[in-house]
Amino acid sequence: MAANATSTSPAIGVAATLDWPEILKTAVFAAAITFLLAISIVGVETQSGPGGLTLSTRFPEVAIAVVGVFFGSMALSLIRGGYPVPAMIGAGLVTGVLLVVLVLEAENPSLKYLLPFQAVVIDWGAVIIPAIICVRAAQVAWRARRQATGAGDTAIGIQIGGLARRLMPWVGLIMVVVAIALPWLPFGSSQRKIIDICTLVLTYIMLGWGLNIVVGLAGLLDLGYVAFYAVGAYSYAMLGANFGWSFWICLPLAGIFAASFGVLLGFPVLRLRGDYLAIVTLGFGEMVRIILINWWWVTGGPNGINKVARPSFFGFTFERTAPEGHRTVYDLFSSVFGQEFTYNPYWRVVFLYYLILACALVTNVFTLRVRRMPLGRAWEALREDETACRALGINPTNTKLTAFAVGAMFAGFAGSFFGARQGFVSPESFVFIESAVILAIVVLGGLGSQVGIVLAAIVLIGLPELFRELKDYRMLAFGMGMVLIMIWRPGGLLAHRDPTIRLPKDPAKPKSPA
Amino acid sequence: MSMAAPQPQTAVDPLLRVEHLSMRFGGLVAIDDVSFEAPQNQITAIIGPNGAGKTTVFNCLTGFYKPTIGRLTLNAPHGRFLLEQIDGFRIAQRARVARTFQNIRLFAGMSVLENLIVAQHNKLMRASGMTLGGLFGFGGYREAERQAVELARDWLDRTALTAHADAPAGSLPYGGQRRLEIARAMCIDPVLLCLDEPAAGLNARESHELNELLLRIRDEHKIGVLLIEHDMSVVMGISDHIVVLDYGRKIADGAPAAIRQDANVIRAYLGEPEHEDLPSAVAADIEKRGG
Amino acid sequence: MEYFLQQLINGLTLGAVYGLIAIGYTMVYGIVGMINFAHGDIYMIGAFNALICFLVLGVAGITWVPLALLIVLIVSVVLTSVYGWSVERIAYRPLRGQSRLAPLISAIGMSIFLQNYVLLLHGARGKPLRAPISGGFTLMEHDGFTVQLSFVQMGIIGITVLLMLGFTYVITQTKLGRQQRACEQDMKMASLLGVDINRTISVTFVLGAGLAAVAGMMVTMYYGVIDFYIGFVAGIKAFTAAVLGGIGSLPGAMLGGLLIGLIEVFWSGYFTVEYKDVAAFSVLVLVLIFRPTGLLGRPEVEKV
C-alpha cells in the first residue's frame, strides 16, 4: 500500500532529500481512493420523484474533493519529509483565501460560485482541513527550530502535565461553583436557552458518571445502558400517571426499579467475556425499546406517555395556579421572603437545572467515595484482572452485579428526571445511539476520570447543541469527532489515574521515604 | 543457602493432603492419580519437566479447575476444607489458600499499595458494612483500613517495595512485580501459599533474596508453602520436601538429598542413559547448583 | 405445510444475506479482535452503490439484465471495498495496539458518520427501485396458497453458496488465507515471519466489505427499497449471527446467519411480527449463556 510507505519519517529537523516520485505516488493513490469513494455516493444524487427515482450529478464536488486530497496528501508528505514550511504556507494560503471568500459571501451572495461546495456548512468544513494541516505544519516547524536551538519541548510538556494534575481538584471545585452560579449570570435573552442546554449537558454528565461505574471502574462493556434510563423514565411516568405519586416518591423508586432490572439482566450474562457482554447488552437495550413500542396498553406504544407529572418544589407547584389544596412556589417564596413573587416560567427551568445538578453531584460524590471503599477497589481490580481477583477470594459475579446495578440505578434516577423535565416519555428517546453517545462520553473523557467526563459531555453534547443551526451536519461532525478524538487521544481526554490511597508516612520511621 | 531446615514433623494430619488427584481435558490426561502431602511450616516443592502437570495441580488446588477425580483435604487451623468441593474464589476466601501465577497477574493499572489493599477485600468489606456503612462513614471502616495499610506496609518493607508504594504496579521492574505478587498473596492471610515459578526471570541476586523471603514466610508465619520451580538453586536451597511429576504422574517424593539421587528423576530430567552425551553437562550443572 | 415451506424459503433468503454480512464481522473479529461496528453501514453503502449503479445503467440504456447485473455487481463490490479499506485505514489502523475500547468507540463514530453522510447526500426517504428481475417458479399450489421461489431468491441463495465455497477455498488453500490465519493466531509472530500485517488486515476489511456489498445489492433487489438506516438493524443481526455461529468461524457465521434469518421469518410468520427482533436476541442470549463460544466456535480453555 502506497499510503503507508511514507509513514516512516526521517528525523524532523534534518534536511532530508525529498523522494518526489514517492510523494506523487502517494498523492495520486490518495486522490484515486477519494475518487472511488466519492464517484457514486457523492457524484450521483438520487431524488425521489413522482415516477420513481431521478438522478442528478454532482461531479464538481467530486473533482474538488479529489484535487483537495491530492494537494493535502502532498502537504502531509512534505511535513513528514522534513519540509513543514512550504506545506504551512500552502495550506495557510488556501485557508486564508477560503475564509475571505466565505466572509465576503455572507455579505454578497453573488460570490457563491467561488466557493467549492454549494452548502455553506460544508465549505466551513472544507476550511478546517487546510487549517489543521497549516497548524500541524507550524507545530512541526516550531519543534524543529527548538530542537535545532537545543531546547527540548518535552520538558515543558511534562511541566504542563504536572501542573494540570495538581490543579485538577481545583478545576472540579471551580466547575461546581460556576455551575451553581450559572442561572444568575447575565446572559441576556439567551439565558433560558443556555440553562436548557446546561441541563441537558448535566443529564449526560450524570449518565456518563453512572456508566463510568460500569465501564470505567468495573470494565464491563455495556452497550445497552439506555435501557435503564428508559426503565427509570417509564417507571416515573407510569407511577405518576397511574397512582398520582409525586416526583420525590417516584425518583427513588425509579432508581430501585432500574437497579433491580440491572440485576435481573446482569445475572445470567455477567460471566460472559467482554465483547459478548457488549453485544448482549446491546440486544437487551433494543429489546427494551421494542417492548416499549409494542406493549402499547401499558407503555402507550410509539406515542409514549404524555402528561407526565411535573416535579414540584417539595409539594409547591411551579404552575401559574395551584390545584386545590396546594400552593404555588411563588406564594411560598412570597411568604418566606416577604416580597411579592409572581408566576415566572424561568423558575421551573432553574429548578430543573439545580435538580439535575444535585443529582449529578450525588452521583459524583458516590463514585469518588466508593472508589475508596473495598467495593470500588474490587471493581477496578476486576477490570484489571479477573483471574487474579478470584485467586484473592473476591466474588467476581457479585462484584460485577453490584457495579451493574449501581450504574443502572443512576441511569434510573437520570431517567426519571428526564421524564419529569420533558413532560412526556416515548421510546424514540431510548434508541441505541443514546447508549453509544453515553459510552462515547465515558471513553472520550478518559475511562474513570470524573472531570474528563464533564469535558467530554460538554464537547459532545454542549457544542453540538449550541450549533443547532447546523442540524443535519451535527451528527456527521459528531461521528467524525468521535473518530478523530479517539485517534488524537486513544486513552481519552484525561487518561491519568490517581491512586485511591497513598501510603501515609510511617510514624515509626521519621526519615522521609525516598 | 545451607540454612538448617526444620525437621519434618510427623503430625497426625498434614496441612494439605492430596489423594488420587486426576485431571482430564477431553482425552488428554494432564494429571494421573497423584497423591502427596504438604505439611504446615514446610516448603514443599513440585518439580518436573515442562508439561508434567504442575500448574494443573495448582489450578485444581485453587479452584480454577474442578478435578476429575481426587480428594484435596486442607487441615487448616481454622477448619477442615475439602477443596475439590469448594468453588472458585471461595477457596481463597474461606479456606485461605493463596496463589501466584506463572505469568504475573497484578492489577497493573492500580498502585502497588492498592494491590495489597485489594487482597484484603473480604476483611475490609465486612468492616465497611458491605460498603453501605463505609459510604456514610459509620462503623469501624476507617480503623480497619488503617490496619490494612499497616499490614500492607509491613509487606512492602519486607519485599523492599516501600519506595514504590504509590506507583502503578505495572511500572515495577520484573523482580519487583514477582515480589509484589507474593506480598499480595500473603495479604489474604493464607494458611497455604502456592507459588507458581516465583524465581522465573530473576537474576542470581534477586533469586537469592527470594529464598530469604520464602524462608522467612515459612518460619515467621507458620504456614505451608507449595512451590513450583525450575530454578534448582531455589528448589534445592529452600525446600524441605520435593514432589516430582512427569507426564502427569508422581515419580518421586522425598527430601532434596534423596531426590537428587533418585534414578527415576534423573531419567525424567535427563532422558534415557543412552543419550548421555549432552545431558551429562546438565546433570553436572544440577549437581553444582543444587549442592 | 405450504405456508411452512414458503417461510422456509423466505427465511433462507434472509439468512443468506445476514450470513454474508456476518462473515465480514467474523473475519475482522478473528484477525484484529474488534467489533467492526461500522460494518453494517458498509453494507448500507453497498446497497446505495448498487442502487445508484442500477439507475445509471438505466439512464445509459443498458437493459440486458444479465449484463446489467454483472456490471452492478462488479461496480458496487469495488466501490464498497474502497469504503471498507478507507474505514480501516482512517479509523482503526491508528488505534491498533490500544485498549479494546478505543477502536470500538472509533467504529461507533464511523458508523454514525457514514449514516449521516448518506443521509445528507441522499435524504432520509426510502429509495425505491423497480425490480430488475421479476417472476419465479411456483413450486406448489394447494387450496389457493402458492409456494413461490422467485428468481431473486434463487439468485441470492445461489450466489451465497458460490461465495461461501470461494471463501472457504481462499481461507484454507491460498497464501492470503494462510496469512490471515497466521495473524489470527499470533500477530507479532506472523509479522516476524514476514507476513505484512497491515496488508493482511486491509485485505480482510476489503473482502468483508465486498461481501457486504453483495449482500447490499441483493437486498436492494429483493426488497426494492433501501434507506440510510438499513445498516444498523442488519448490522446488529449479522453480528448476532456471527456470535451465534461462533465468532471467528466462517461456517459458523453462515450457519448463524441462516438461523437468525429462519428464526426471524418463522417468528413473524407464526407469532408476531413486532417481536421478531426480540426473538432473535433472546436466542442469542440463550446460546451465549449455555454455549458461550457459539455453535461452531472453538471452546476456550482458560490459561492461568
Q: Are residues A253 and A135 in the same domain?
A: no
Choose among C201, C214, C209: nearest CA to C81. Answer: C209
Domain count of the fold of chain A: 2
Residue C111 sits at the chain A interface (C-beta within 8 Å): yes
Interface list for A 373-432 with B (CB within 8 A): 373-375, 377-378, 380-381, 383-385, 387-396, 402
Q: Can you give the pLDDT at residue A12?
A: 46
Query: Which residues of chain B neighbour C301 with C-beta distances below 8 Å?
Result: 25
Is position A329 within any domain? yes
Q: How many angstroms away from the CA of A164 is the closest CA of chain B?
A: 19
Least confident of A304-308, B14-18, B213-217: A304-308
This model of the complex carries an ipTM of: 0.87
- Name the phi and psi angles at A19, rounded to 5: -95, 85
Per-residue pLDDT band at B131 (split at 50, 70, 90): low
Query: Which residues of chain B neighbour A514 with C-beta distances below 8 Å?
Result: 163
Q: Can you give the pLDDT at residue A135?
A: 87
Q: Are residues A419 and A306 in the same domain?
A: yes
Q: Which of A114, A134, A149 is the last residue of a domain?
A: A149
Of the candidates A282, A473, A482, which has its C-beta nearest C112's C-beta? A482
Per-residue pLDDT band at B9 (split at 50, 70, 90): very low
Q: Can you give the pLDDT at residue A1?
A: 35
Concatenate the DSSP letters of all residues of C121-148 into one string.
HH-SS-EE---SS--EEEEEEETTEEEE
Q: Are residues A191 and A63 in the same domain?
A: no
Average pLDDT across chain B, whole number: 83
Is position A511 within any domain? no
pLDDT one-digit tens code per residue, B240-286: 889 998 888 888 888 888 888 888 888 877 766 544 444 555 555 55
Q: Cα dist. A441→A353, A471, A479, C105, C159 in Å?
A: 20, 20, 12, 10, 42
CB contact under 8 A, C304 and B101: yes
Query: Which residues of chain B neighbour A511 with C-beta distances below 8 Å?
Result: none
> How many degrees, rounded to 5, is the angle at CA C189 between CA C185 and CA C190?
70
Domain range list for chain B: 13-96+190-291, 108-188
Q: Can you give the pLDDT at residue C300?
A: 59
Per-residue pLDDT band at B116 (split at 50, 70, 90): very high
CB contact under 8 A, A41 and C78: no
Q: What Rg, from alpha-carbon coordinates, does chain B have?
A: 20
Query: Which residues of chain B neighbour C302 with C-beta distances below 8 Å?
Result: 64
Q: Are residues A186 and A140 in the same domain?
A: no
Residue C114 sits at the chain A interface (C-beta within 8 Å): yes
- Name the phi and psi angles at C294, rounded to 5: 80, 180
| Distance (Å, whole) CA B134 – CA A12 | 54
Q: Can you give the pLDDT at residue B139?
A: 64
Q: Which of A95, A130, A149 is the last residue of a domain?
A: A149
CB contact under 8 A, B64 and C304: yes
Is position A434 within any domain? yes
Q: Can you give the pLDDT at residue A514?
A: 38
What region, left, alpha or beta, does residue A303 occupy, with left being phi > 0 and alpha being psi -120 to 50 degrees? alpha
Q: Can you give the pLDDT at residue A6?
A: 39
| Distance (Å, whole) CA A149 – CA A311 | 64
Most A-contacting residue of B58, B96, B107, B158 (CB-CB within 10 A), to test interface = B107
CB contact under 8 A, C304 and B59: yes
Domain count of the fold of chain C: 1
DSSP E strands: which ranges in A323-394?
Answer: none
Of the candidates A373, A381, A504, which has its C-beta nearest B110's C-beta? A381
Is position C304 within any domain? no
Residue A53 sits at the chain C interface (C-beta within 8 Å): yes
Is position A269 within any domain? yes
Q: Are residues A435 and A386 in the same domain?
A: yes
| Distance (Å, whole) CA A441 – CA A433 | 12
Is position A493 within any domain? no
Q: Cα(first)–Cα(last) distance of chain B, in Å?
A: 9
| Distance (Å, whole) CA C247 – CA C291 | 12
Q: Can you give the pLDDT at residue C51?
A: 92
Residue A56 sits at the chain C interface (C-beta within 8 Å): no
Is position A155 within any domain? no
Q: Which three cell numbers stand for residue C265?
A: 421469518
In sequence order, the 6+-apart residues with CB closer than 8 A to the CB of C166 are: none
Residue C99 sits at the chain A interface (C-beta within 8 Å): yes
Q: Cα dist. B63→A120, A387, B72, B249 in Å?
A: 65, 11, 11, 20
Q: What Rg, from alpha-carbon coordinates, does chain A have?
A: 28
Is position A437 within any domain? yes
Q: Are residues A327 and A470 in the same domain?
A: yes
Q: Cα dist. A168→A155, A450, A494 in Å?
A: 20, 10, 10
CB contact under 8 A, A276 and C243: yes
The single-letter DSSP state of residue A319 is: S
Is position C7 within any domain? yes
Q: Residue-wise pLDDT tens for chain C (304 aa)? A: 778 888 898 899 999 999 999 998 888 888 888 888 899 999 999 999 999 998 898 888 887 888 988 999 999 999 999 999 999 999 999 988 887 778 888 998 999 999 999 998 888 888 888 777 777 777 777 777 777 888 888 889 999 999 988 888 888 888 888 888 888 878 888 888 888 888 889 999 999 999 999 999 999 888 888 989 899 888 888 988 988 888 888 889 999 999 999 999 998 888 888 888 888 888 878 887 788 778 887 665 555 5
Per-residue pLDDT band at B192 (split at 50, 70, 90): very high
Q: Are residues A460 and A330 in the same domain?
A: yes
Mean pLDDT by 10 residues, chain A (514 residues): 40 61 90 91 83 81 89 87 83 86 78 72 78 85 76 53 69 85 79 88 94 90 92 90 82 93 86 77 88 85 80 75 75 79 80 91 91 90 90 90 93 92 88 88 81 88 74 79 84 76 70 43
* DSSP-based three-state secondary structure for B225: strand
Query: Which residues of chain B neighbour C304 with C-beta distances below 8 Å?
Result: 55, 59, 64, 101-102, 105
Q: Which chains have 3 or more CB–CB distances shorter than 8 Å to chain B? A: A, C
Of the candidates A384, A393, A395, which has its C-beta nearest B108's C-beta? A384
Q: Are residues A238 and A350 in the same domain?
A: yes
Q: Which chains have 3 or more CB–CB distances shorter than 8 Å to chain A? A: B, C
CATH superfamily of B13-96+190-291: P-loop containing nucleotide triphosphate hydrolases (3.40.50.300)
Is position C298 within any domain? no
Query: Which residues of chain C neighbour B25 with C-beta distances below 8 Å?
Result: 301
Is position A503 within any domain? no
CATH number of the domain that C55 lies in? 1.10.3470
Q: What is the domain extent for residue A444?
A: 176-488
Q: Are residues A143 and A184 in the same domain?
A: no
Interface list for C 197-226 with A (CB within 8 A): 198-199, 202
Q: What is the domain extent for residue C100?
A: 2-290
CB contact under 8 A, A36 and C79: yes
Q: Are residues A61 and A194 in the same domain?
A: no
- Residue tagged 426499579 (cell numbers): A257
Is position C82 within any domain? yes
